[in-house]
Amino acid sequence: MPEGLSGAAVHQLSVRVYYEDTDAAGLVYYANYLRYAERARTEMLRELGIGSSDLMANEGLALVVRRCTADYKKPARLDDVLNVETRILHVGGASLDLEQTVCRGDDVLVRMELKIGCFDLSTGGAARLPKHLRATFSQTQTDRMP
């Protein structure tokens, strides 16, 4: 199991809700959950030894969101401490399927399902995941949560 991930192959990132994250009603603005999820994915990659800037500079590749669905269940509020959990559900030839949940304690606030594609910066199109990335991601793959 790669360093930084729990035994269940779940990456966790803690974030605090700041005033700038909230809307006029004092609730986290819906798009900010996407920002929290992006930070969590970036930190998961770092803990797996995959730096986004290195991937772009050395391999000419980027991992980009191709599809995202979000189910907003409960709101978060100013000063809440949230936990963003990221799970790799499936590793394909050129993409990853992820599940990300944003929780406050035991409460699931938002559940997202994402397809992350491998993008060739020189051609502007899809690319196959390099073998070393597929191997790393496959080691961390887990089953879908209930």
Catalytic residues: 23
Q: Is 75 exposed, middle or buried (0-12, 13-18, 19+ CB in 10 A)?
A: middle
Instruction: Please name the residue ranges forming H helices in the chain.
Output: 30-47, 52-59, 131-140
Place of tokens 């730096």: 51
Q: Is 67 exposed, middle or buried (0-12, 13-18, 19+ CB in 10 A)?
A: exposed
d(CA 62, CA 24): 35
